[in-house]
């Protein structure tokens, strides 16, 4: 209020021309300065220790004078009588306009802008100004922020000149103010003033750079479209964070910043893959509904070993490419091979995990990969979808959805009252909106929990007379829950693992096929048919009927044997276990032979290398000793060639290593097998390398949480918004900026929170 009073009073005095105005203005000016100094003191009391030191009592007098000077300048600038326009013109412009600067202009920005005037030099319109560089018209509202923004956006050279001149002006202002305080400032004072000013400007520039980097990371690592930065709400958010900051445009992001970040991330991934010996790949086939395009995201997976840190897992996205409609398999093959060559893994790929798409499977065959692994998650989801298509099951699930919709809308109040009367949890019924089997299981389980309430309301409520849910319906519901629940347990178990799960496929399939899906005597007909159909899908995918399926089964058996939790292979026959061990022995022998060959090559090269004289003498001595051994008459009996030794002794060495592994304690089912191998790797010369070959092929083509929760739907929605030109780069940046095991936000959690809040509101 005092500020408004002073401004009005000063304005009136300036207009009236009263001869007492100067005295009255001086009194008001002293009051303003005193109040400003008081506020400065209060601010210092509540400031940090650093600021208190900066505004010490010794320097308070300087700031008091500086405040008085600044306020006096502001008052004079605001309330001086308006002078006619003169002396500010730059002359007629090339467009015929006679532009003049603001009569009280102090900012250097007016060098580039002006008002149009008439023949007498009077300004024609105070709300319109013109740019002297491009002669474009700009709205003027009393400040110069939009003028600076116009220069920054359209005239970068002039803008840089303006920034430099503005900085010089600020230095001069500080220097002038301090010179009035003390006519002859010391050199140290001038240096400290300039240092403070430079640090302030550097701090602001650093903050703006940090904001730009944060926005780039937000777009790239969050998988948001670049047009997000031009959303009004986003601009409002940035304006609140820093009003003086202008975020990058969508064109700058798309043309410069995203590609630059893509190149940097590519280099990081290249370095991580440079030391990979064996790797597996996975293909994620997905569709962009908004663009009506089909894409494949290609990822690479490997198990790496370091003597200091042990085993670690590498999961990286390599490429996302569009699948053309013509010659799909050939186009997929070409794109995958180009990616192999680009990333230097052409001869390192052991196998591929796919969702079973015919074209992708054919492409893997054309690439002649060792193994083509079906995705366990897609196989389970496909089996459930087949079972839900059975006429009786499909019709029953449709009735369940209608019942849930009825109680979630018109009969919700009745259900709440019944829940209170019977002391049941205050919860709503759930529907399977995405038609996933785990969503269907949640719907059926909630119906089972509220069975008593539903039965009572069906009998008592007149609005529910057209719904029928008999005892046989409840029996079918319980039977479906009994079938689906073990699959949910398996999904949760696999999803929670932070290590390769390829070794779990065979044990899981054995348990499901021989326990969960085993038809019992009391099963309903619909349940028996569902079990039979699910078993058929699982068995046909992983059976040993064809040559391809036999390779898959053998690969899975070896991967399972190398897991210290499952190495006894109780689900295999003695003959099958012997076959697995024989293959591992041959694999290990091949590794030892390769090591011996590489070692002998190194020894040969060391003999001809440049060594110090003393070391050369040692080598010559060893050579002569070796020669004397060969001259020994017993050499023909006891000395063997390396080749003979590898054939006779390597087998025994590998068998001993395998026996040592089998004699180790069986690991607990909930323990980490990769951690066990990290701790025991020094005991086994070759088995860890066999492990790296068989465990690099993933059990699922995408992270498990995207297959067994709504996070996959969440990701699909984000990918649909990305323009086709940026799909490859943005998906690459998104996938490689997060952990492979980090789930996306799950909508199921939101429903739980909303349900909890609703229950609390009822109480």
Task: State yes or no: pLDDT of 636 exceeds 80.
Answer: no
- Give percent of the chain with pLDDT exceeding 70: 72
In sequence order, the 6+-apart residues with CB closer than 8 A to the CB of 109 are: 144, 147, 148, 151, 162, 166
Query: How high is the pLDDT of residue 65?
Result: 44
Query: How high is the pLDDT of residue 640?
Result: 56
The continuous run of DSSP H or E covering 699 comes out as none
Q: Are 476 and 533 in contact (CB under 8 A)?
A: no
Query: How high is the pLDDT of residue 20?
Result: 44
Distance, in Å, from the CA atom of 264 to the CA atom of 275, rounded to the nearest integer, reads 19
Q: Could you tell me which residues are beta bridge partners of residue 303?
A: 313
Task: State yes or no: pLDDT of 218 exceeds 90.
Answer: yes
Query: How high is the pLDDT of residue 36?
Result: 55
Query: How high is the pLDDT of residue 76?
Result: 41
Q: Among residues 60, 79, 98, which one ends one of the domains?
A: 79
Task: State yes or no: pLDDT of 682 exceeds 50.
Answer: yes
Q: Are 282 and 317 in contact (CB under 8 A)?
A: no
Q: Are residues 66 and 147 both part of a single domain?
A: no
SS3 311: strand
Task: State yes or no: pLDDT of 142 exceeds 70.
Answer: yes
Nearest 5°: phi and psi at 379?
A: -65, -45
Q: Are residues 413 and 544 both part of a single domain?
A: yes
Task: State yes or no: pLDDT of 2 exceeds 70.
Answer: no
Mean pLDDT score, 550-570: 95
Q: How confident is the model at residue 650 (pLDDT cuts 50, 70, 90)?
A: confident
- Give percent of the chain with pLDDT exceeding 90: 49
Please state the domain count of the chain.
3
Mean pLDDT score, 582-589: 94
The reply to whether 743 falls in a domain is no
Query: How high is the pLDDT of residue 558?
Result: 97
Query: How high is the pLDDT of residue 439?
Result: 93
The reply to whether 718 falls in a domain is no
Domain interval for residue 129: 89-169
Q: Are residues 525 and 397 both part of a single domain?
A: yes
Task: State yes or no: pLDDT of 622 exceeds 70.
Answer: no
Mean pLDDT score, 185-193: 58
Distance, in Å, from the CA atom of 178 to the CA atom of 191, rounded to the nearest integer, reads 12
Distance, in Å, from the CA atom of 300 to the CA atom of 289, rounded to the nearest integer, reads 26
Q: Are residues 55 and 118 both part of a single domain?
A: no
Among 535, 572, 575, smallest CA distance to 553 is for 572
Q: Are residues 392 and 533 both part of a single domain?
A: yes
Q: Are residues 489 and 399 both part of a single domain?
A: yes
Task: State yes or no: pLDDT of 35 exceeds 60.
Answer: no
pLDDT tens for residues 488-529? 999 999 999 999 999 999 999 999 999 999 999 999 999 999
Task: Count the helix, strand and coil residues of the chain and give each as a percent rounded to the nearest 5.
Answer: 65, 10, 25
pTM, to two decimals:
0.69
Distance, in Å, from the CA atom of 337 to the CA atom of 351, rounded to the nearest integer, reads 13
Q: Among residues 507, 537, 561, which one ends one of the domains?
A: 561
Task: State yes or no: pLDDT of 422 exceeds 90.
Answer: no
Task: State yes or no: pLDDT of 46 exceeds 50.
Answer: no
Q: Among residues 543, 561, 579, which one ends one of the domains?
A: 561
- How many residues can be counted in the chain? 763
Q: Could you tell me which residues are beta bridge partners of residue 186?
A: none
Which of 594-598, 601-605, 629-633 is the least confident region?
Answer: 601-605
285 to each of 342, 384, 722, how far by Cα in Å? 21, 20, 16
Q: How confident is the model at residue 122 (pLDDT cuts 50, 70, 90)?
A: confident
pLDDT tens for residues 535-557? 999 999 987 655 667 889 999 99
Among 319, 322, 374, 384, smallest CA distance to 352 is for 374
In sequence order, the 6+-apart residues with CB closer than 8 A to the CB of 335 are: 296, 298, 319, 321
Task: State yes or no: pLDDT of 22 exceeds 50.
Answer: no
Residue 463 neighbours by CB distance under 10 Å: 11
pLDDT tens for residues 373-385? 999 999 999 999 9
Q: How confident is the model at residue 250 (pLDDT cuts 50, 70, 90)?
A: very high
In sequence order, the 6+-apart residues with CB closer than 8 A to the CB of 696 are: 278, 279, 280, 301, 302, 303, 350, 500
Query: How high is the pLDDT of residue 106?
Result: 72
Q: Are 278 and 305 in contact (CB under 8 A)?
A: no
Mean pLDDT score, 130-137: 87
Query: How high is the pLDDT of residue 18?
Result: 43
Pick the more confident residue, 299 or 96: 299
Task: State yes or no: pLDDT of 67 exceeds 70.
Answer: no
pLDDT tens for residues 222-235? 999 999 999 999 99
Q: How confident is the model at residue 7 (pLDDT cuts 50, 70, 90)?
A: very low
Q: Are residues 65 and 95 both part of a single domain?
A: no
Give every strand in the sheet of 310-322, ordered side by side: 310-322, 293-306, 279-288, 349-354, 371-374
Q: How confident is the model at residue 458 (pLDDT cuts 50, 70, 90)?
A: confident
Query: How high is the pLDDT of residue 100?
Result: 83
The continuous run of DSSP H or E covering 373 comes out as strand 371-374
Query: How high is the pLDDT of residue 595?
Result: 82
Q: How confident is the model at residue 645 (pLDDT cuts 50, 70, 90)?
A: low
Query: How high is the pLDDT of residue 193?
Result: 56
709 to each of 10, 495, 748, how far by Cα in Å? 69, 10, 8
The reply to whether 522 falls in a domain is yes
Q: Are residues 387 and 506 both part of a single domain?
A: yes
Q: Are residues 102 and 141 both part of a single domain?
A: yes
The continuous run of DSSP H or E covering 91 comes out as strand 89-92
The reply to whether 700 falls in a domain is no
Query: How high is the pLDDT of residue 141?
Result: 73
The reply to whether 557 falls in a domain is yes
Chain-centroid distance of CA 309 in Å reads: 25
* 468 burial via Cβ count (<10 Å: 0-12, 13-18, 19+): exposed
b/e code 358-370 from CB counts within 10 Å (16+ = b): ebbbbbbeebebe
Q: Are residues 14 and 161 both part of a single domain?
A: no
Q: Are residues 494 and 406 both part of a single domain?
A: yes
Pick the more confident residue, 605 or 96: 96
The reply to whether 435 falls in a domain is yes
Query: How high is the pLDDT of residue 119?
Result: 77
The reply to whether 312 falls in a domain is no
Which of the 8 DSSP states describes residue 639? -
The reply to whether 740 falls in a domain is no
**Arithmetic mean of pLDDT over the chain:** 80
State the angle between helix axes of 437-449 and 376-388 in degrees (0 to 180), rounded to the nearest 10. Answer: 60
- Number of H helices and E strands in the chain, helices first, is 31, 10
Q: Are 479 and 529 in contact (CB under 8 A)?
A: no
Pick the more confident residue, 746 or 200: 746
Q: How confident is the model at residue 58 (pLDDT cuts 50, 70, 90)?
A: very low
Q: Are residues 14 and 154 both part of a single domain?
A: no
């Amino acid at each position: 209020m005092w500020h408004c009073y002073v401004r009005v009073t000063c304005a009136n005095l300036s207009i009236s021309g009263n001869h007492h105005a100067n005295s009255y203005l001086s009194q008001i000016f002293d009051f303003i300065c005193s109040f400003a100094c008081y506020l400065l003191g209060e601010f210092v009391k509540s400031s940090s220790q650093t600021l208190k030191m900066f505004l010490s009592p010794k320097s308070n007098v300087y700031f008091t004078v500086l405040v008085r000077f600044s306020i006096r300048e502001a008052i004079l600038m605001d309330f001086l009588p308006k002078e006619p326009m003169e002396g500010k013109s730059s002359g007629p412009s090339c467009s015929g306009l006679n532009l003049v600067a603001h009569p009280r202009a102090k900012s250097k920005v007016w060098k580039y802008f002006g008002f149009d005037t008439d023949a007498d030099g009077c300004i024609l319109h105070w709300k319109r100004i013109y740019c002297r560089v491009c002669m474009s018209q700009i709205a003027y509202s009393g400040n110069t922020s939009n003028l600076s923004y116009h220069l920054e956006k359209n005239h970068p050279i002039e803008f840089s000149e303006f920034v430099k001149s503005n900085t010089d002006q600020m230095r001069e202002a500080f220097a002038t103010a301090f010179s009035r305080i003390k006519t002859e400032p010391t050199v140290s004072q001038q240096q400290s003033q300039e240092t403070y000013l430079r640090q302030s400007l550097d701090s602001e520039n650093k903050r703006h750079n940090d904001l730009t980097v944060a926005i780039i990371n937000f777009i790239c690592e969050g998988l948001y479209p670049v047009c997000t930065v031009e959303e009004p709400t986003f601009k409002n958010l940035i304006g609140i964070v820093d009003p003086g900051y202008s975020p990058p445009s969508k064109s700058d992001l798309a043309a410069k910043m995203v590609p630059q970040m893509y190149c940097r991330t590519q280099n990081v991934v290249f370095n991580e893959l440079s030391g990979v010996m064996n790797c597996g790949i996975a293909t994620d086939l997905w569709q962009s509904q908004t663009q009506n395009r089909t894409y494949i995201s290609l990822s690479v997976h490997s198990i790496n070993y370091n003597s200091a840190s042990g085993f670690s897992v590498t999961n990286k996205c390599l490429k996302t490419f569009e699948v053309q409609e013509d010659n799909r398999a050939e186009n997929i093959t070409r794109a995958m091979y180009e990616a192999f060559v680009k990333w230097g893994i052409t001869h390192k790929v052991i196998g591929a995990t796919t969702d079973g798409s015919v074209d992708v499977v054919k492409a893997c065959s054309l690439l002649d990969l060792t193994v083509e692994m079906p995705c366990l998650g897609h196989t389970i989801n496909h089996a459930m979808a087949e079972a839900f298509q059975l006429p009786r099951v499909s019709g029953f699930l449709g009735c369940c959805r209608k019942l849930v919709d009825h109680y979630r809308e018109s009969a919700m109040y009745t259900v709440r009252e019944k829940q209170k009367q019977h002391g049941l949890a205050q919860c709503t019924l759930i529907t399977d909106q995405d038609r996933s089997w785990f969503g269907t299981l949640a719907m059926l389980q909630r119906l089972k929990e509220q069975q008593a309430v539903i039965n009572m309301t069906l009998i008592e409520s007149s609005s529910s007379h057209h719904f029928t849910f008999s005892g046989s319906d409840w029996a079918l519901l319980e039977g479906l829950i009994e079938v689906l629940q073990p699959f949910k347990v398996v999904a949760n178990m696999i999803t929670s693992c932070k290590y390769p799960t390829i070794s779990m496929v065979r044990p899981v399939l054995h348990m499901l096929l021989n326990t969960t899906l085993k038809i019992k005597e009391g099963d309903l007909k619909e349940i028996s048919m569902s079990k039979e159909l699910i078993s058929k899908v699982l068995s046909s995918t992983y059976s040993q009927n064809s040559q391809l399926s036999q390779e898959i089964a053998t690969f899975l058996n070896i991967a399972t044997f190398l897991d210290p939790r499952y190495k006894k292979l109780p689900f295999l026959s003695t003959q099958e276990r012997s076959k697995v061990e024989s293959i591992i022995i041959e694999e290990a022998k091949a590794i030892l032979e390769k090591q011996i060959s590489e070692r002998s090559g190194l020894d040969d090269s060391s003999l001809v290398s440049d060594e110090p004289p003393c070391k050369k003498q040692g080598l010559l001595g060893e050579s002569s000793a070796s020669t004397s051994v060969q001259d020994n008459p017993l050499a023909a009996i006891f000395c063997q060639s390396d080749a003979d030794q590898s054939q006779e002794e390597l087998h025994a060495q590998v068998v001993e290593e395998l026996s040592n592994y089998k004699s180790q304690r069986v690991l607990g089912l909930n323990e980490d097998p990769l951690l066990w191998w990290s701790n025991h790797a020094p005991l086994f010369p070759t088995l860890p390398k066999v492990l790296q070959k068989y465990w690099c092929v993933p059990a699922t083509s995408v992270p498990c949480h995207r297959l067994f929760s709504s996070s996959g739907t969440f990701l699909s929605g984000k990918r649909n918004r990305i323009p086709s030109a940026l799909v490859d780069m943005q998906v690459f940046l998104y996938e490689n900026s997060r952990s492979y095991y980090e789930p996306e936000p799950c909508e199921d959690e939101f429903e739980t929170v909303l349900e909890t809040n609703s229950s609390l509101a009822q109480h």
